[in-house]
Amino acid sequence: MATILEKPGFNPDRQYKIVGTSPVKHDGFDKVTGRAKFAADAFLPGMLIGKVLRSPHPHAVLKSIDISKAVALPGVKAVITRDDFPEIKPGSGAGDMTRIAMAREKVYWEGHPVAAVAATSESIAKKALKLIDVQYELLPHVIDPVEAMKPDAPILHDYMRTKGAKGADAEKPTNVVERSVLAIGDVAAGFAEADFIVEHTYDTKPMHQGYIELQSCIANYSDDGQVDLWCCTQAPWVYRDRLTEILKIDSSKIRIQQSELGGGFGGKTTFYLEPLSIVLSRKAKCPVKMTLTRSEVLRATGPVSGTQSTIKMGCKKDGTIVAVDSNLIFQTGPYTGSAFTNAPQAMLTRYELKNVRTVSHEVVSNRPKVSSFRAPCVPQVVFGVEDCVSELARKVGMDEIDFRMKNAIVEGHKTIYGETFNRIGFVETLEAAKNCEHYKSPVPTGQGRGIACGFWFNRGGETTGTMNLAPDGTVNIILGTADVAGSRMSMSMMAAEEFGIPVDRVRSMLADTNSLGYNRVTAGSRTTFSSGMIVIDAARKIIAELCSRAAKIWNVPEEGVIFEDGHCRPASSNVGNFEPLSMKDIAAKTTYTMGAIAGHSEMNVTGAGPGFAVHIVDVEVDKETGLTSVKRYTIVEDAGKAISPLQVEGQYQGAAVQGIGWALNEEYIFGDDGRLQNPGFLDYRMPVASDVPMIDTVIVEVPNPKHPYGLRGVGEVPLTPAMGAIGNAIGNAIGIRPRSLPMTPAKVLALIEGGATSG
């Protein structure tokens, strides 16, 4: 059957009954009573507890591991090391993954797993870890990505050669994974036209996604080789297929059931404990539960890339940006995977540019491997881009929003990475920002105001879902895309909208990996869009089937039946004078028509609508301490169509506060010994309620023509401009723009006292 993708049919005149309201989300009830089951909330009979032994060194050869004493401890049921995992060549995707799960030849960061134990209690497992004797040969380490690029830097992988390097550089062992160039036009010619040119260097530090739920899982490897895995994940199918690669177990034998997800933000797209618990369970012949501690989460799961970027930008007197030349460095941890190529594509997209060159480098180093975080690798660079844009606006003497408006990309124009935009809402977003109460109000005395803009592609991709009509006329939706903040409810709302029935007659649930076809990870702001397409498609298939059944019951042609407000009706009086049939009427008679009614949909969804945001921030800086307080914050962002406005606002607000943390406080601090010095929430300090103001939101709705309701993803965009806007606000408050994240009191005070040197 044809899918909705072939004819998305956005209808600008559609009147919504449910979409655009904010009903209480069904999964919320169990979350306020404590009954919702997160990963660590499950137990199995006969379950053992697993714990991980981790390297205390950031870089060392793993000489030997003696587990004999641990194995002999009463209560210990299995001890595993590298010897329990299939050998896979290093330097490949699977080779890297297996080495992240369990160190093989070397350890690459403080916290790298070297062994794991399953025992009858946590205290016995911990005791056993102390009995494992590991011999290391210490190696010099490197954490800073700029240091890691120097010729005399310690080399992490002898086999590594820089992809994209030319000449002699391409032959030498290196820590630079890849050098990639994105260029259009003629940058030199562009700068020759410029009346004003700015150039600055920025650095940012790794920060953690900071989800409150500790990773936890239970694996049960049965005697016939079936794996049942319960875990918190944004990517059950991705986990399954990667586990197949590194453990050599058939995908069909790995059934992953996702728990409620206690925050992810990109950080739960990669597994850590899951392969260990499966191998422990296979060896111990019991289910094994493993849960990370907060210290382990910070030391051994993926923070974002630290970066250094140099950005040069020029414009003409009339405000036209004529050229941008950038050099970007992304720290990725010991293995590739930062998704750094997002940055050159997204960092400038929102401006109409003819001459751009961006040289990007991904660099390995002795810290935990990077993991995704809302718009991976983009916010760090936008921190610099939006400084340059604002500085040029000031040089030209234009209002900062007008300056951006002058350079704004519009429908039908080609981006620097080659996509030609369909209908987009950047101009409308800028206009809404300019007209919002916050921007129109004067900057309070003693404060600074900053604005910044951001963009994210938004994603689609492979998605599968099923919908079942029950005999009482209610509807179940079975989804594969993890629900990070309320997407199940959005799916129920879209189905209810299609059927014209109350949303309480629809329930959405998350399937295990055996029960549905492949679903890509919940990431990239793709879920409400992609699974939404699946839901609408499946609902329309059910509606077509309902009409067909009604035609059978009435013995009329199918064209003679229409569906509205949950009922099949005769299309006209010519068809016959039949009482409408409700979904329940038809569902109750399926035994006599053609059997149960279900809708299924599987697609590689395309047509995600790009998203744009403008952030407006007022800050106050204490001139004696350098402490920055955010006093007022407004996010203006295009959602295409907000399915549930309260949930969309929540996405904007949450991202803003994550941005405040990244801007002002959060960073990984490593000692000279390469060990993380702040692996706890006391010293890795995320924003608390008293640190932030209310976050005002303006939802702009410029419909995405490729979605029936016009929706765009909203999760990534609102983080992209946050640090840029806060940096600009501090710059305006103290007269010097900070160019190093986080903008701590010490750094800001140094700027105030030092005057000239920035950053």
Interaction site with other proteins (CB under 8 A): 22, 24-25, 27-29, 31-38, 40-41, 43, 75, 121, 123-124, 209-214, 260-265, 291, 293-294, 484-486, 646-647, 649-650, 653-658, 680-682, 686-692, 694-695
Cβ at position 144, least distance to other proteins in Å: 27
Cβ at position 632, least distance to other proteins in Å: 12
Cβ at position 692, least distance to other proteins in Å: 6
**Residue with smaller CB distance to other proteins, 379 or 703:** 379
**Residue with smaller CB distance to other proteins, 29 or 592:** 29
**Residue with smaller CB distance to other proteins, 22 or 582:** 22
Q: Is 711 helix (H, G, I), strand (E, B) or coil?
A: coil
**What is the Cα–Cα distance from 737 to 724, expressed in whole angstroms?**
10
**Residue with smaller CB distance to other proteins, 24 or 181:** 24
Please report the DSSP string for 314-334 in residue order.
EE-TTS-EEEEEEEEEEE-TT
Report the DSSP beta bridge partners of residue 210.
Answer: none
Peptide bond into 742 cis (omega under 30): yes
Cβ at position 650, least distance to other proteins in Å: 5
Please report the DSSP string for 463-505 in residue order.
EEEEEEE-TTS-EEEEE-S--SSSHHHHHHHHHHHHHTS-GGG
Q: Which uninterrupted H or E stretch holds 241?
A: helix 236-247
Q: Which residues contact 124 (CB under 8 A, 6 or more apart)?
A: 73, 74, 75, 76
Cβ at position 111, least distance to other proteins in Å: 16
Q: Is 527 helix (H, G, I), strand (E, B) or coil?
A: helix
User: Of 410, 266, 210, whose CA–CA distance to 716 is shortest?
Assistant: 266
**Residue with smaller CB distance to other proteins, 101 or 482:** 482
Which residues in 491-649 belong to E strands, given as ranges?
506-510, 561-564, 567-570, 581-582, 598-605, 611-621, 628-638
Cβ at position 716, least distance to other proteins in Å: 14
Cβ at position 687, least distance to other proteins in Å: 8
**Residue with smaller CB distance to other proteins, 16 or 29:** 29
**What is the Cα–Cα distance from 81 to 53, expressed in whole angstroms?**
10
Cβ at position 298, least distance to other proteins in Å: 10
Cβ at position 662, least distance to other proteins in Å: 12
| Order of strands, sheet of 356-363, starting from the edge strand that comes earlier in the sequence | 176-184, 356-363, 321-331, 307-315, 196-204
Cβ at position 255, least distance to other proteins in Å: 23
**Residue with smaller CB distance to other proteins, 181 or 212:** 212
**What is the Cα–Cα distance from 350 to 409, expressed in whole angstroms?**
5
CA atoms within 13 A on the CB side of 59: 19
Cβ at position 491, least distance to other proteins in Å: 16
**Residue with smaller CB distance to other proteins, 73 or 470:** 73
**Residue with smaller CB distance to other proteins, 213 or 325:** 213
**Residue with smaller CB distance to other proteins, 123 or 222:** 123
DSSP state at residue 378 = S
**What is the Cα–Cα distance from 724 to 382, expressed in whole angstroms?**
6
Lookup: tokens for 8: 């998305």
Cβ at position 355, least distance to other proteins in Å: 38
476: exposed, middle or buried (C-beta count within 10 Å: 0-12, 13-18, 19+)?
A: middle
Q: Is 12 helix (H, G, I), strand (E, B) or coil?
A: coil
Cβ at position 209, least distance to other proteins in Å: 8
Cβ at position 412, least distance to other proteins in Å: 35
Lookup: tokens for 210: 């900071």
**Residue with smaller CB distance to other proteins, 95 or 263:** 263
**What is the Cα–Cα distance from 710 to 157, expressed in whole angstroms?**
47
**Residue with smaller CB distance to other proteins, 24 or 188:** 24
Give the strand pairing for 628-638 and 695-700: parallel
285: exposed, middle or buried (C-beta count within 10 Å: 0-12, 13-18, 19+)?
A: middle
**Residue with smaller CB distance to other proteins, 485 or 717:** 485
Chain center to CA of 510? 19
**What is the Cα–Cα distance from 666 to 46, expressed in whole angstroms?**
41
**Residue with smaller CB distance to other proteins, 75 or 95:** 75
